[in-house]
Amino acid sequence: MEILKLLEDMTQIYAPSGEETEIREYIEKYAKDCCDEVYTDNMGNLIAHKKGNGKKIMFAAHMDEIGVIVTDIDEKGLIHFDRIGGLNLRNLVNLRVRFKNGTEGVIGSKEEAFRDKPSYDKLYIDIGANAADNVSVGDTAVFVGGFTVQQGTVISKTLDNRAGCALLMYAMAEIEEAENDLYFVFTTQEEVGLRGAKTAAFSIEPDIAIAVDVTDTGDLPDVPKMAVTMGKGTAIKVMDHSIICDADVRAKLTETAKAHNIPYQLEIMTDGGTDAGAIHLTRAGVKTGGISIPTRYIHSISEMASVSDIENSAKLLTEAAKINW
């Protein structure tokens, strides 16, 4: 399976939090060819089950992306909005957005007032026409951005977390026969509170869970110090803002990486979290860890990751599914 081709396709599919239908349908076509059971739960999570007699292992990667939601359309035909997920307010001006029906617009600002005190009520979306004829209150939009591969690096919108989804798809296609009982879960509404992962884990009741997502790096000027560098290997999560990972799971992932000569780094991300945060608190608790792809400029239209890090993360995930937990 060609991971980069999957990524190029998936990064361009419209799927803000709560509207993951299109990306779920895309993934489902692949899952049906390589899993024993594929179904969608009430939260919209796609669950692909590869049956085995060993431990019940849940791998989770979220399908949703950040975006905006229409809160009002004024008398001038300009669209006022609020955020879906974590956005950098100061970086929104002049970005393009696309609504589900294909309508595109540009984010403008009340410039002087926005510079003095940035806030969402000083921003608007301009579609160059009367917005009321094209969109309605409650409609959502995602950011517009291309997909580029150059010199071993991927630059694209929505690597968070279509890259994680691609890793799960790669692993479930590579594993022909599993000893463990494997659940590949493509979750919803992670960007607004880890919601899909919580209900999926409650239903599946896994013995072990591994969340697959992107992580920040510490290899740029003026960013918080962090021992993760793009291009130096997959990242095995130790801790983020939502979880301190299970020590046994972390050790197993580290041992597996060493045994298969997979370059790895240890990740401590002090700001932000992943589906792991919700999963490990489900029912009586779940032994949970994380595999992360080092990524620069997260939550922008120009997220950047190393092709080798993506590939090594895919290898570790695949081997982790096979080990005796």
Provide the pLDDT for residue 247.
Answer: 97
Does the structure show a pLDDT above 90 at 294? yes
Domain 67-143 has CATH 3.40.50.2300: no
What mean pLDDT value characterizes the chain?
95
Name the catalytic one among 8, 19, 65, 190.
190
Tell me which CATH homologous superfamily contains domain 3-65+157-322.
Zn peptidases (3.40.630.10)
Provide the pLDDT for residue 117.
Answer: 86
Does the structure show a pLDDT above 80 at 112? no
Does the structure show a pLDDT above 80 at 1? no
Cα–Cα distance, 184 to 165 (Å, whole number): 9
Residues 59-69: tens digit of each pLDDT = 999 999 999 99
| Residues counted in the chain | 325
Provide the pLDDT for residue 222.
Answer: 84
Which tokens in the block code for residue 305? 């990751």
Secondary structure of residue 27 in the 3-state scheme:
helix
Residues 139-176: tens digit of each pLDDT = 999 999 999 999 999 999 999 999 999 999 999 999 98
The pTM of the full predicted model, rounded to 2 decimals, is 0.96
- Is 190 noted as a catalytic residue in this protein? yes
- All structural domains of the chain with their residue ranges: 3-65+157-322, 67-143
Residues 183, 56: contact at Cβ < 8 Å?
Answer: yes
Strand 303-306 with 153-156, pairing: antiparallel
